[in-house]
Amino acid sequence: MELTEALLVYRPLLATGFGIAALLALILRARMNAFAALLLVSIFSALAAGMAPEQAFDTLAKGLGGTLGFIATVIGLGALFGAILQASGALDALASKLSTSSSFKTNQWKIASIGLLASTPVFFDVALIILAPLILTMAHDRLKPAMSLGLPLMAGLAVGHAFLPPTPGPIAIAELIGADLGWVILFGAITGCVALAVSGPLFAAFLEQRNRMPIGNPAFELDETSNHTTRPIPQPERAIFLITLPLVLILLGTLAGILPDGPIKYVLEIIGHPFSALLIACGASWLLLDPKTVQSRKLMSDAMARAFEPTGAVILVTGAGGAFKQVLVDTGAGEQIANAALGLGFGPLLAGYVLAVILRLAQGSSTVAMITSAGLTAPIVAMADLSAPQLGIVAIAIAAGATTGSHVNDSGFWLVGRIFGITPGETLRTWTVSTTLISVVGFLMCLILYAALALF
């Protein structure tokens, strides 16, 4: 009798556990689309937890709508912003400026910084394909292995993709756990810079000193996203200004909360909202990078039209993650997960990181790992009653966990191997280790920041 009562009490928790197992099976074994798998598991978990069908579907609609109302707009504007920078050649101009540097080691640090900036408005794989030809040429001219510059570049791209909005992952995490994007940007920048230094230039130097940097057979003939031969080259300083513009505006919007009521606070709250900040960035990009020729304008228009193609799947997956989170809340499974985690001594920071690591290693996609683990961590966060800065650090910890150990079930793993012409074993010893360093160092930085907040 006691067993039956326990099963009834913990029915939502058991339903969630089976749901997560089913999610991994559907993605790994059945190769089901992540959006469809998340939605199917959300329905199963709601019904298995005891919800009536009508109530279950109302919960899913509530979770989808509540999540996408903010995220779809930000991701869409971010994609538009990235398309303008990409099609105008601003990223190419920024990277090309590095080729005149006389120091190869200095170039490694500069390339890492370019990767960090480039991945903020542009998806990881797109930025890698855009910048790879320059990296390969620079390494070839200096008679160095391509991965000597490739590792710093990819570390910068991975850090930017995980820690700095408007990339989809940190935006989704912030929305799901209720973190302010300004704090996420601030702590993401602090954490990301340290993680980038260790996983990029320093790790590359470590491999070079021990003659363990793979030579590879780089693929110089890469697919080009567009033809820029007849296009005027923008000033690289403009690219830096435009990429940092929305980040600074969002930070100002967050800091406006500590100002007294008045016109300055009013204006900062308007321009610092992510919607306004990204709209301003898009407008400034169009004005400063305005194409002068008919062909350039066509390239820009085509790029903007294609901008939403890769974002559609991300937006839908994020919405399905929001639906799954809402199921956890409405069935009571989230509260049971939170109580169990807190009982084991797993606070929001550790729980979010560990869940993200497990999901990342299991199914490969960092975005899916971020969204799913954020949904699972949200109830723990709610019970912990964290401050706004603490929520920002928890968001970065989840992002760090979802970055770890890129391996054979991650499409990025194979893209890296193809571009730099290295074997899977060499990719594991370089790229996989680099992403693991990003994760570990990022989490350690989160622990330090979290402890520092507690002291003050």
Q: Mind listing the pLDDT tens digit for each residue in 417-426?
A: 888 888 888 9
Amino acid found at 152: P
Least confident range of 89-103, 146-160, 161-175: 89-103
Calpha distance 196→202 (Å, rounded): 9
- 30-34, 291-295, 403-407: range with lowest mean pLDDT: 291-295
pLDDT, residue 392, reads 95
The more confidently predicted of residues 160 and 118 is 160
Distance CA 132, CA 120 (A): 17
Give the least confident one: 5-14, 150-159, 265-274, 279-288: 5-14
**Averaged confidence pLDDT in the chain:** 82
200-226: per-residue pLDDT in tens?
Answer: 999 999 999 999 999 887 755 444 444
Q: Are the CB atoms for 127 and 115 separated by under 8 Å?
A: yes
Give just the sign of the alpha carbon dihedral 159, 74, 372, 341.
positive
What is the tally of structural domains in the chain?
1
Report the distance separating Cα 45 and Cα 375, nearest Å.
14
Q: What is the band of 189 on the pLDDT scale with cuts at 50, 70, 90?
A: very high
- Three-class SS state of 312: helix
Percent of the chain topping pLDDT 90: 24
Would you state the pLDDT for residue 221?
Answer: 47
Residue 6 pLDDT greater than 80, yes or no:
no
Q: Which of 79, 180, 63, 71 is nearest to 120 (CA)?
A: 79
* pLDDT category of residue 192 using cuts at 50, 70 and 90: very high
The 10s digit of each residue's pLDDT in 285-319 is 888 877 666 777 777 777 777 767 767 777 787 78
Question: pTM of the prediction?
Answer: 0.76
Provide the residue range defining the domain that includes 129. 2-455
For tokens 């001219």, the residue is: 141
Residue 416 is inside which H or E element, if any? Answer: helix 411-420
